[in-house]
A and B are shown apart, each in its own frame.
Chain A
């Protein structure tokens, strides 16, 4: 029997060798015989009626396959939650870059010219582009009121708290759109034959696409097959939009009866596919003299773009995280997802939580100033304690001690002595420095009853050669899905890691274990892999092929014998909601997540007053994520997430004009490079988690939540000037300092912007 633990060890990445040798097959690396290349003709205007489509004379159109909405055999929609988004616009367009026509040709070089040669005349309709315009219904662009979804969370008696308050602290915070910027652009190949439609692609959720293609192509489940190729980064950006591209490739393949490959180039990918929802959050908080939160109102609004897509779920995660890791005796949180005429915003690592937590953590610093406490003390006095309830009245059952987490982070960052030395340093000179803190939490798994509805299934197979294979639709796109799920299966079966392999996610082969999103793979799917693996072992033992303790060789032989005698040997496991988890969808109350990860991040920054640029000099990321199953991968996830979040806070600005992204290139949409980032120092606490495989919780999204507010808190600490919008670019700092200077000189004696916004 293998007595060594495999979980907790940094075993080699399953597909690592292929990745470092360039052998991995991404979708654009795959070629099928007689394959055509597809391209998309898109709307040039934000909103209007399509009047006329003209095909320019300079193109030999008879060589092209052309698909319009009329060619759709099934329903013209991308089936997801609601079915409001068309696959191809028919009469109306509702955002720039909305797909209207599809073209295919054997020579991919001819496509850009052909796309350009299609001219479309529109009757333009008035369009709206901001949360404000949508909220005041400057124009109704979706449904009856521009509202995709609202939520209301109510706890306690908020209306009574304002009387008792010593301070009422208000603030408004906004976050911008962010591009996922996976380095591999989106792409799909589709082929159609008597078996039905098959697509291969860069994607996160095979069964989302499966469902969308059934509806679009009018085909039964068994005639639709979705295969994931190696996927070059996703971050949520390949959660829902790939259904669109798969649909397009499928329509072209059905019409031409040839395989069709659609690969977006960078400009198309950035302009047309989803981004993080822009948001606006308003806080009004009642606080006592000694800094205790009595209650408050939070108003959280996101811009969903032109179609509903995933906005309702993004909003849900955002609203549940809006209160941060603090105890609110009473609170009222209103949340709204609104329509505008931008391309639909969608899933991006963190899924609404980075937006609402940015606001919460900036607001905490504002409360601290109002009360006259330090950012440390204000947090310490309000941290959730075991036994208390969250804003949705979920009882904290984990033995989490956020105060200890905070202390450890302060020590790791050398907070106090740095603050002291910065106070001196900042007396003079053009490079003020500051320290900023963010404390936060992130729920693992689908929100509320989500996991119950998903009802995920996983399989583990004992193969004819005696090895073990894991069958899940969970996808690998850099996080280490294959590696960690193999570790879990190996651990459950007491086998060497090498004896376990992963089936390629292919809907013909693997069951629906749910989408690979929401930090759910290790915790939820991992737990199911564990129990399915135990099923294999149990069967071998009860068939008297194996003893309770065994060597890897004995297992191999037993497994071979079982398959020889009975044929295919698979064990399945289906998700069952733990009986002590309860969620009320109507009241939006209860156990929002089976487990939360907890974190305290500390940023140290320097602001250069000649260039107005901010550099992050040190970054401490301390988190409690349950048991760490693979230290190297876990650390890599945290560092990568922090880097992306530094981009969210300081670099990545989507420049919009009439709903279209203007800077849709890597040259003018700036993500951090290796020389922009500090060494990111990662620390873990491991409390464990009864609901996850071997005590694991989710980890992937967490690091996206904290860095932006920690950095903006540090910038305020350095400058004494407040910034409440991200991304915070040098020009914003210059403007802020200038207007601060103006305000300070016109109101001498006042403390200016650096003072608290509190009302005593």
Chain B
């Protein structure tokens, strides 16, 4: 594990998180993941590996899916970040959250926030993916519980419902 703090002093960084403007005091090289979890108490993003392999720390940054364990917080300056906490509208679940719930896409739940964000990103780029495309599109997010089938089915179901409505 590397010391993610830079010799330079903490600096103020401003960005938008789930639609709200936020200011944090952080070392520039501190990981976005730690800032989200520890300073902003947004603990939905998880650390599975800390090296960009598992995707459990996935968030959307300006609409792009990133591994927040690899992003120095300085890079988030001015960006718009969406975490799992930003998907549901109050008590109303996002359609992907609904689908994960109904199709068995979440077992232990630790990969789920990252997996759902990866799925929103996938559907944003490709509203009607094939099963193959879903498997390909989610292959950067590891899940040890589900064997992926029910996750893939959840995404397909969500896509079907959204395009039907």
- What is the interface of chain A, defined by CB distance below 8 A to chain B? 12-13, 15-26, 28-29, 109, 112-113, 180-185, 230-235, 265-267, 477-480, 632-633, 635-636, 639-644, 665-667, 671, 673-677, 679-680
Q: Beyond the given A636-B147, A671-B142, could you list 5 further A-B residue pairs with CB under 8 A, ordered by the A residue number?
A: A19-B112, A109-B4, A182-B108, A234-B108, A666-B48
A680 touches B147 (CB 8 A): yes
Which residues from B are CB-within-8-Å of A632?
A: 103-104, 150
B142 touches A183 (CB 8 A): yes
Q: What is the bound-complex CA distance between A476 and B106, given in angstroms? A: 13
Which residues from B are CB-within-8-Å of A12?
A: 101-102
Rounded to whole Å, the gap between the CB of B88 and the closest CB of chain A is: 5
Q: Which of B54-69 contact A (CB under 8 A)?
A: 54, 56
A674 touches B139 (CB 8 A): yes
Name the residue on B nearest A619 (C-beta).
Answer: B147
- CB-defined A-B contacts under 8 Å, sample of 24: A12-B102, A13-B106, A16-B106, A20-B105, A21-B93, A24-B109, A29-B37, A183-B108, A183-B110, A232-B108, A232-B110, A233-B108, A265-B47, A266-B49, A479-B107, A636-B145, A636-B150, A642-B147, A643-B146, A666-B142, A673-B139, A674-B138, A674-B152, A675-B135
Most chain A beta-carbon contacts within 10 A, residue among B4, B46, B49, B113: B49
A640 touches B146 (CB 8 A): yes
Q: What is the bound-complex CA distance between A265 and B4, given in angstroms? A: 14
- The 8 A-B pairs at the shortest CB distance, nearest first, are namely A22-B44, A232-B110, A643-B147, A19-B109, A478-B108, A22-B84, A478-B107, A666-B53
Q: Which of B127-151 contact A (CB under 8 A)?
A: 131, 134-136, 138-151
Name the residue on B nearest A480 (C-beta).
Answer: B107
Q: Which of A17, A22, A183, A642 contacts B48 (CB 8 A)?
A: A183
Rounded to whole Å, the gap between the CB of A598 and the closest CB of chain B is: 21
Rounded to whole Å, the gap between the CB of B94 and the closest CB of chain A is: 8
Rounded to whole Å, the gap between the CB of A56 and the closest CB of chain B is: 16
Q: Which of A18, A635, A671 contacts B144 (CB 8 A)?
A: A671
Q: What is the bound-complex CA distance between A677 and B104, given in angstroms? A: 17
Q: Which of B45, B51, B139 contacts A675 (CB 8 A)?
A: B139
Q: Which of B42, B88, B145 contacts A233 (CB 8 A)?
A: B145
Q: What is the bound-complex CA distance between A18 and B83, given in angstroms? A: 14
Q: What is the bound-complex CA distance between A477 and B107, given in angstroms? A: 8
Q: What is the bound-complex CA distance between A480 and B54, given in angstroms? A: 23
Q: What is the bound-complex CA distance between A368 and B61, given in angstroms? A: 58
Which residues from B are CB-within-8-Å of A680?
A: 147, 149
B109 touches A15 (CB 8 A): yes
A478 touches B109 (CB 8 A): yes
Which residues from A are CB-within-8-Å of B148?
A: 639, 643, 673-674, 677
Q: Given A17-B101, A635-B104, A674-B151 in contact, is the A665-B109 Cβ separation under 8 Å?
A: no
- Contacts between the two chains (Cβ within 8 Å), count: 176
B18-51 to A contact mask, C-beta < 8 Å, 1/0:
0000000000000000000100001111111111
Question: Dominant SS at the A interface?
Answer: loop
Which residues from A are CB-within-8-Å of B102?
A: 12
B46 touches A26 (CB 8 A): yes
Most chain B beta-carbon contacts within 10 A, residue among A22, A478, A642: A22
Most chain B beta-carbon contacts within 10 A, residue among A230, A232, A265: A232
Which residues from A are CB-within-8-Å of B138?
A: 674
B5 touches A636 (CB 8 A): no
Which residues from A are CB-within-8-Å of B134?
A: 674
A635 touches B108 (CB 8 A): no
B145 touches A478 (CB 8 A): yes
Name the residue on B nearest A12 (C-beta).
Answer: B101
B106 touches A184 (CB 8 A): no
Q: Which of A113, A184, A477, A674 contacts B46 (CB 8 A)?
A: A184
Q: Given A666-B54, A673-B142 in contact, is the A232-B46 Cβ separation under 8 Å?
A: yes
Q: What is the bound-complex CA distance between A25 and B37, given in angstroms? A: 12
Which residues from B are CB-within-8-Å of A644?
A: 144, 147
B76-100 to A contact mask, C-beta < 8 Å, 1/0:
0000000111011000010001001
Q: What is the bound-complex CA distance between A396 and B13, given in angstroms? A: 68
Q: B9 at the A/B interface (Cβ < 8 Å)? A: no
A22 touches B113 (CB 8 A): yes
Which residues from B are CB-within-8-Å of A677?
A: 135, 147-149
Q: Given A635-B150, A636-B146 in contact, is the A112-B83 Cβ separation under 8 Å?
A: no
Rounded to whole Å, the gap between the CB of B40 and the closest CB of chain A is: 13
Q: Which of B50, B135, B144 contacts A266 (CB 8 A)?
A: B50
Q: B116 at the A/B interface (Cβ < 8 Å)? A: yes
Which residues from B are CB-within-8-Å of A113?
A: 3
Q: What is the bound-complex CA distance between A23 and B106, given in angstroms? A: 13
B46 touches A640 (CB 8 A): no
Q: B164 at the A/B interface (Cβ < 8 Å)? A: no
Q: B74 at the A/B interface (Cβ < 8 Å)? A: no
Rounded to whole Å, the gap between the CB of B154 and the closest CB of chain A is: 10
